[in-house]
Structure 1
Amino acid sequence: MFSFFHNGCQVLVCNLIIIFLGLVIHFNEAAMTMKQLEKTMETLRNTCTPQFPSLSQDMLNGIKTGGFLEDNKDLKCYIKCIADMAGTTTKKGDIDMKKSNNQIESLIPLEMKDHAKAALNACKEVSKNYKDPCEKVFYTAKCSYEFGPDKFMFP
């Protein structure tokens, strides 16, 4: 029970951070800077990493360069944790297009928006090929990487 409460608090804290940053950005009428985005991604990573102790830092860093280990369930669920914390998935693990587009508009730095929107659009159907929620998000993230490896960012 404590574990659920603890995880629930982590979700709440991350969502509050995202909402706060969204409000700050809204009132400043600008998206995050790259530095702010990197700090937010660090917070997401620090929240999800403890839930998957079998994952090494090398495995997590490997995602950024296309290291999508398809035989690792924990890695798949770590990626889902990040997407859940970012508020871009449905309860079934599908990408919520409306929420994702809203996040792109309010959080992604201007110089990355067009690419982020194009990647989201190119990969929006990927999750329909999988039943497992972790696989849905994992393969959508992999698609996003393959869409533009040089512009892919992940916590």
Structure 2
Amino acid sequence: MKFDLWIISVLVFGVATLLLPPGINAGVTEEQMRSAGKLMRDVCLPKFPKITQDVADGIQNGNIPNSKDTNCYINCILEMMQAIKKGKFQLEQTLKQMDIMLPDNYKDEYKKGIQLCKDATVGLKNAPNCDPAHALLTCLKNNISVFLFP
């Protein structure tokens, strides 16, 4: 499992930096971002058989049901994005990944939304229902006008 996450992290997060000239820190194209999101979705979706393609598409479009299965699916994606770890929002890591994985035209809006949501997981327990993931994604959806989720 850890090896799979490592491979995907290298593929998803490394491609953008490997393709850039030394000293340049720019986001990816929207197409690259969506491809990376598809990789994450393809890893997490099979782990949660109660999450249908329609439910995952709904989450992607901002309809975020609050149930154990959907929350834990969201948690899986957020962990792969390095945005959440054991139910705790990883602010600094999220900001670093955002610089790598988002097109430049999304970054300012996301930085603001991320700052507004930095305390969204405080006081929530991860087990057994992955509640912090739901709270974080809902906060981000409510505070970022261009909502993106794999």
> After TM superposition, is the score higher than 0.5?
yes
Secondary structure in 1 matching 2:97: helix
Q: After superposition, where does 1:140-151 map in structure 2 within 5 Å?
A: 140-148=136-144, 150-151=145-146
- Identity of aligned pairs, percent? 25
Q: How many residues align?
A: 146
The 10-residue stretch of structure 1 (47-56 or 25-34) with the greater mean CA deviation from structure 2? 25-34
Shift in Å at residue 67 of structure 1? 1.5
Asked if residue 81 in structure 1 is aligned to residue 76 in structure 2, the reply is yes
Task: Please provide the CA RMSD for this pair.
Answer: 1.7
Q: Using structure 2 for the length normalisation, give the TM-score.
A: 0.89
What letter corresponds to residue 35 of structure 2 in structure 1?
A: K
Separation of aligned partners in 2, 1:31 and 1:113 = 8
1:117 pairs, out of 111, 117, 137, with 111
- Name the SS for the 1:37 alignment partner: helix
1:40 aligned to 36, 43, 46, which one? Answer: 36
Moved over 6 A (4+): none
| Contact 2:114–2:140 (Cα < 8 Å) also in 1 | yes
TM-score when normalising by structure 1:
0.86
For residue 12 of structure 2, what is the aligned residue in structure 1? Answer: 18
Contact between 1:25 and 1:32, CA under 8 Å: does it hold in 2?
A: no
Higher helix share: 1
Q: Secondary structure at the match of 1:27?
A: coil
Match of 1:62 among 58, 62, 75: 58
Question: Among residues 125, 131, 134, which one is paired with 1:131 in the alignment?
Answer: 125
Any gaps of 5 or more consecutive residues in structure 1? 1-6
CA distance in structure 2 between the partners assigned to 1:153 and 1:20 by the alignment: 20
Amino acid at match of 1:78: Y
After TM superposition, give the deviation of residue 53 of structure 1 in Å: 0.8
Match of 1:4 in 2: none
Q: Secondary structure at the match of 1:49?
A: helix
